[in-house]
Amino acid sequence: MASTPIHLRWELYPVAHDIRRFKYGGSFLEEADWYTKKIHKSMLGEMRVMLPEILLLKGVWEYNRGLWFWSFTFHIGLYLLTALIFILTLGGIIIGPNIFYGYDALSLIGKIIYSLSYAMLIAGCVIGTIGTLGLIIKRSTDREMSTSSSFGSYFNLIFIAAIFISGLVLLFSGNAVDKLIKFYYSMITFQSMPNLGAAFAVHAVISGLFILYLPFTHMTHFFMKYFTYHKVRWEDTPNIRGSKLEKKIQEQLSYPVTWSAPHIHADGKKNWADIATEEVKKDEK
């Protein structure tokens, strides 16, 4: 996505990074000689819009409130388990040897990491299970959603539900955090993996397969939104002579056109610049 040609921009205002004009919907174009002035972009303004959308699903709340609770709990469960990966990695580094080899009692930091890991695992699996099962039921019973849902939509939810539910089974099997920290310590230090039991093996396999499957699905929207927001919705860099944007546009205008639509008059040799500047001939009747 980062290497693809420039996207067609929305050119709709306000844009989030224009913090001065965002409230009333203005843009730098309302200023005289705007092309001679430096355009200020505020990351704070973008974060002010992005964080409520990411953490609270503001868009779902505003446009599909009946779906919000299930979608919110679903995403919170995913966020907690994703954050748990980083906590467990830290735990593998700091307290991994203590748990792996049975050394002395944990330090204060070790106890905090251990307790936090346990709380996040419980909360993530419980909340995520509620949200995922709720979405499956909602998608199945709501007429509008059911008619627009594909097999992949249900499969993705069932796959994620399997992660949450297998995590709950791991919790009930006992010493779940010990097993997870041993697993991460083994990966970090390339130690031989101990036998962590069937419940752990099932959870690890399901989670690993999902990570392999994820890049080939629409669920990649969690990072693709960067491009759709920053490079399409909010991109308002002006095309000024001699700028990087002008060079990119000139490069794209040199691409050959192979469209088959007759009104384009493309033959595979003409480029976009040729087609955009050639004389338009009226069809004779």
HEC string for 104-169: CCCCHHHHHHHHHHHHHHHHHHHHHHHHHHHHHHHHHHCHHHHHHCCHHHHHHHHHHHHHHHHHHH
Residue that wins the pLDDT comparison between 194 and 279:
194
| Mean pLDDT, range 249-257, rounded to an integer | 92
| Mean pLDDT, range 229-253, rounded to an integer | 89
The single residue listed with the structure tokens 């446009």 is: 63
Tokens of 60: 């779902």
Q: What is the pLDDT of residues 87-128, one digit of tens each?
A: 999 999 999 998 888 877 888 999 999 999 999 999 999 999
Q: Domain extents for the chain?
A: 67-228, 244-277
The single residue listed with the structure tokens 């920053």 is: 230
Indicate the pLDDT class of residue 132, thresholds 50, 70 and 90. Answer: very high
> How far apart are alpha carbons 95 and 107 in whole angstroms?
8
Q: What is the mean pLDDT of the chain?
A: 91
Residue that wins the pLDDT comparison between 73 and 279:
73
pLDDT at residue 237 tops 80: yes
Question: Model pTM?
Answer: 0.85
